[in-house]
Amino acid sequence: MDASKNRKQRFLDAHPLCFFCGRQSATIDHVPSRECFRDRVWPEGYEFPACYACNNGAGPMEQVVALYLLMGNHDGTRPTSQFEKLIAGVRNNAPQFLPKVDMSANAKKRALSQYNFPLPTDQPIAKAPIVELPDKNREAFRLFERRLICALYYLHMDEVMPLTHMIRTHRLQAIQKSADQLVHEVIPMLPNGIVTKRQNTNIGDQFFYNWHGDHETKMFAFLAQFSLSFVFIGAACRVEDIAGGEDYLPHSTDVIIRDAADGIR
């Protein structure tokens, strides 16, 4: 048995259950996926035990979200070859998730008023660099967000999220006007702040979050930010603790969807 096999086996011995569905773990999964980080350098400590189906099944969807995370980043860094590879990957695996580039001038005008996007005054609106996200993208983002909340729950609550839990998630682009307000209002309610990092490598502010968890009721909430790209917010709790939330979906549906996808392959 070589050294990496030893490390994997030790990890799975210490973490025998899949962080997402609770079945027997067989792989080490990265959440958020490595694709979400510049040059695939991911923060330390964000490895999770997963069964084959939960790890492999998420791949194409994670690629889609990674593409949008990198594309939506307005921190001024230039796209790298990783970005080109991601586009090629999504074009191959899930072309229905690529952005629509043929938006009308009117649709772009509406989008400009919704976002703080600075368009030079001498640039015609029709040429504004805005693309539309296909509706299908919600599925990719929803899976990404539900995996993220399950991973953070596993990490901070020291157990697999019960399948009977209800989960609700939401996202905003960082440049949306309402994003700043949301962040400032929600952060004080989530007292544990984490800035992820890697020893000897500066990964900057690519992924940081706040969370709160209650061990007695098993209620958990987080708000995560990816550079200047997206803000994700989510809550998970027992059915009986939901206060007026039709947008909560049972975590058990994630596993039903996963099993259905597994049956197709």
Interface stretch with Zn ion, choices 16-24, 108-116, 212-220, 245-253 (CB under 5 A): 16-24
Rounded to whole angstroms, the Cα distance separating 187 from 79 reads: 30
Residue closer to Zn ion, measured from CB, 171 or 258? 258
Interaction of residue 18 with Zn ion, rule CB under 5 A: yes
Task: Provide the minimum distance between the beta carbon of 59 and Zn ion in the complex, in angstroms, as a whole number.
Answer: 14
If you write DSSP's letter for every residue of 6-18 in order, what string do you get? HHHHHHHHH--B-
Angle at 40 between CA 99 and CA 118, to 5 degrees: 45
What's the token pair of residue 34? Answer: 């490595």
- Can you tell me which of 31, 33, 42, 54 binds Zn ion, judged by CB under 5 A? 54
User: Hey, what amino acid is at 195?
Assistant: V
Quote the CA–CA distance of 42 and 35 in Å, as a whole number.
Answer: 8
Given candidates 31, 32, 47, 51, which one binds Zn ion under the rule CB under 5 A? 51
How is residue 35 annotated by DSSP? Answer: G
Q: Applying CB under 5 A, what is the total number of residues that bind Zn ion?
A: 5
Gap between the Cα atoms of 163 and 150, Å rounded: 10
User: Which of 20/46 has CB closer to Zn ion?
Assistant: 20
69 binds Zn ion (CB under 5 A): no
Does 21 contact Zn ion by CB under 5 A?
yes
**Whose Cβ is closer to Zn ion: residue 68's or residue 144's?**
144
Q: Which residues bind Zn ion (CB under 5 A)?
A: 18, 20-21, 51, 54
